[in-house]
Chain A
Amino acid sequence: NAGVTQTPKFRVLKTGQSMTLLCAQDMNHEYMYWYRQDPGMGLRLIHYSVGEGTTAKGEVPDGYNVSRLKKQNFLLGLESAAPSQTSVYFCASSYQQGAHSGANVLTFGAGSRLTVL
């Protein structure tokens, strides 16, 4: 099993350009998440999805959009990239909460490193 796969692994954008990060999981997980990780800030939740066709805002959603058209895929879009969006982006997935005694156990991808110039 591949687990959680993120593409691309690296990307450099110019301010104002748009791009989409793709996350795919093969574990039949209901829940999927997008986080960003910045030095000194830790992991911050951008958006998440509790099932196919659903999305919800996390802690830092501004400037990002997401879609979950298929259960196994979760896309993160940047419509007009800004230097403040330079970060490492992590996708994660988990079973529906309650399957592991209520603990929300996340499986993470390897990350996508984005630089906005």
Chain B
Amino acid sequence: QKEVEQDPGPLSVPEGAIVSLNCTYSNSAFQYFMWYRQYSRKGPELLMYTYSSGNKEDGRFTAQVDKSSKYISLFIRDSQPSDSATYLCAMQRSQGNLIFGKGTKLSVKP
């Protein structure tokens, strides 16, 4: 079993929809959970990160971590065409390098 699993999609939604992106993981030592956004032919950029379990909200974006289920989610409310990108989850132990998911490609149609 890979340490981090992420459905590659692609995922296509209409503008204004609520989007749910998810990752599962197997290593219970992970402490930090991150979401990166990558536009086509660009480098990934950090959207947000959370420490341990719980929710974190930033504008239209909400990150959730459920350590008991080893499951993390990113919700996008009122999705916009500008949200069309690949979303990568990444995880980290208390110290150490990041382990990335393969990314989910999202397309928001006007």
Query: Which residues of A lie under 8 Å from residue B96 when comparing CB positions?
Result: 97, 104
Interface assignment of A84: CB less than 8 Å from any CB of chain B: no
Cβ contacts A33-45/B at 8 Å (1 or 0 each): 1000000111101
Nearest-neighbour CB distance to chain A for B58, whole angstroms, equals 14
* Most chain A beta-carbon neighbours within 10 Å: one of B41, B43, B46, B103: B43
Nearest-neighbour CB distance to chain A for B101, whole angstroms, equals 6
Q: Which among B46, B95, B103 is the interface contact of A105 at CB below 8 angstroms? A: B46
Query: Which residues of B lie under 8 Å from residue A4 when comparing CB positions?
Result: 43
Please determine whether A111 and B101 come into contact, CB atoms closer than 8 angstroms. no
* Contact A109 B32, CB 8 Å, known A40-B102, A42-B102, A102-B51: no
Query: Which residues of A lie under 8 Å from residue B92 when comparing CB positions?
Result: 103-104
List CB contacts (< 8 Å) of A83-117 with chain B.
90, 92, 97-98, 101-111
Q: Which among B8, B34, B42, B44 is the interface contact of A103 at CB below 8 angstroms? A: B34
List CB contacts (< 8 Å) of B1-44 with chain A.
6, 8, 31-32, 34, 41-44
Please determine whether B43 and A109 come into contact, CB atoms closer than 8 angstroms. yes
Q: Which among B31, B32, B88 is the interface contact of A42 at CB below 8 angstroms? A: B88
Q: Give complex CA distance A110, B44 in Å.
A: 8
Q: Give complex CA distance A107, B42 in Å.
A: 12
The chain B residue sitting closest to A100, CB to CB, is B49
Classify chain B: how many residues form its interface, as a range: 20 to 34
The chain B residue sitting closest to A109, CB to CB, is B43
* Most chain A beta-carbon neighbours within 10 Å: one of B49, B92, B98: B98
Cβ contacts B50-83/A at 8 Å (1 or 0 each): 0100000000000000000000000000000000
Nearest-neighbour CB distance to chain A for B27, whole angstroms, equals 14
Q: Which among A45, A101, A108, A111 is the interface contact of B97 at CB below 8 angstroms? A: A45
Interface assignment of A48: CB less than 8 Å from any CB of chain B: yes
Nearest-neighbour CB distance to chain A for B93, whole angstroms, equals 10
Query: Interface residues, chain A, CB within 8 Å of chain B?
Result: 4, 33, 40-43, 45, 48, 58, 90, 92, 97-98, 101-111
